[in-house]
Amino acid sequence: MDYPKVELHCHMDGAIPERLFIRYCREDGLVPEGMSDEEWMKKNIMSETMSLSDCMKLFAILTGLLQNKERLEELSYELLKDMYASGTKLAEIRFSPQSHMNENLSMEEAIEAVLRGRNRAQQECPGLVSGIIVCMMNLGLNLGTIENNTRTVELAAEYKDQGVVGLDLAGDEIATPIEDYGVMFALARKLGVNYTIHAGESGSASNVAFAIRQGGGRIGHGIHAIEDDAVVNELIDKDVLLEISLTSNYFSRCVPSIQEHPIRELWDRGVKININTDDPGLMGITLKHEYDLLEKLYGFSEKEFILSNLYSAQKSFCEGKEKIIAELEEAYKKCS
């Protein structure tokens, strides 16, 4: 059955399409002389597991390619068009404005460039519903990110009527206790900004509990909630959606193996799940790849996929999501 896919957790820099990644790398002189495109891609796509901290180091290479307005606009435009072409009709892509200031680009300029690309994609893709989430970064308070993170919250408010639909706390979850960012979410609430929080990815169920208490309604990953029945029950009682990325959780060693991922148990117990790629360019995957894994390894049915997408659309921060919700409700009725 044909039904719209909803992806809410896709990091823009980790999703650079192969054609752009290769071109940017060659323009910047990063590809050794005589190396083919295929060899370069094989060298730069994750093929083995590594710690989340090491995954973050790979991001430094990707964000290094995205330090000007032209590339930021092109990437958001091309990425959203690719997602739409593959069947994703409601998409939220996220990025950290403070990670694109190495060549004197301001955070405002970075956001505006990404929004220009998003707006172009919206115009060219009939029926696409999309929005941008701006990310605060947990890199350790000693790295001087407090000012930039506060400014990110303020900018999420300033641009919320122009295509920025929400805020996130991303980065290395264990670099600094996420409780230290409570003041940032209090500011977001004061400014009327939607937010999701990376929690329970590499961190414990207590981080998920903290994220639930912030009241955002969505949590990035959240898989370690499974360690505490009370936290799982609270996810259900508070109607919180988990944005889960199967392959990413395995590659970043947040689960021992894909076969041991808790997604099936969380879903069966009544937790609402959104299925995502997280960093598809970095990991060489697609959303279809993730759906195929869930069907093969965990027996997810078409009806369950439709229901998951319906939950995801309902929890989206995007304006215009109502038409996607209606399509998914109709698809669910046909599948029942």
- Per DSSP, the residues of 151-204 read HHHHHHHHTTTTTEEEEEEEE-TTTS-GGGGHHHHHHHHHHT--B-EEESSSS-
Q: Which domain holds residue 200?
A: 5-335
Q: How many CB atoms lie within 10 A of CB 295?
A: 14
Provide the number of structural domains found in the chain: 1
Q: For residue 83, what is the domain's CATH number?
A: 3.20.20.140
Number of C-beta neighbours around residue 27 at 10 A? 11
Q: Tell me, what's the pLDDT at 52?
A: 67
| Per-residue pLDDT at 141 | 61
Residue 143 above 70 pLDDT? no
Residues near 84 by beta carbon (within 8 Å), at least 6 away in sequence: 91, 121, 125, 128
CA distance 115 to 111: 6
Average pLDDT on 295-318 reads: 98
**Are residues 80 and 92 in contact, defined by beta-carbon separation less than 8 angstroms?**
no
- Higher per-residue confidence, 141 vs 160: 160
Q: Choose the most confident range, by mean pLDDT, from 48-57, 95-104, 186-195.
A: 186-195
Average pLDDT over residues 290-309: 97
The mean per-residue pLDDT over the stretch 318-324 comes to 97
Q: What CA–CA distance (Å, rounded) separates 163 from 156? A: 10
What band does 210 get if pLDDT is binned at 50, 70 and 90? very high
pLDDT for residue 32 is more than 90: yes
What is the mean predicted confidence (pLDDT) over 177-194? Answer: 95
Between 43 and 38, the higher pLDDT residue: 38
Query: Which parts of the chain are beta strand (E)?
Result: 5-11, 88-95, 129-138, 164-171, 197-199, 218-221, 241-244, 272-275
pLDDT digits (tens, 9 = 90+) for 211-241: 999 999 999 999 999 999 999 999 999 999 9
Q: What is the pLDDT of residue 91?
A: 98
Q: What is the mean pLDDT of the chain?
A: 94
- Residue 266 pLDDT grade (very low, low, confident, very high; cuts 50, 70, 90): very high
pLDDT, tens only, 107-126: 999 999 999 999 999 999 99
Range with the lowest mean pLDDT among 82-86, 139-143, 205-209, 309-313?
139-143
* Global confidence as pTM: 0.96
- The mean pLDDT value for 278-289 works out to 95
3-state secondary structure of 88: strand
The pLDDT, as a whole number, for residue 140 is: 72
Q: Would you tell me how many other CB atoms lie within 10 Å of the CB of residue 33?
A: 5
CA distance 183 to 48: 37
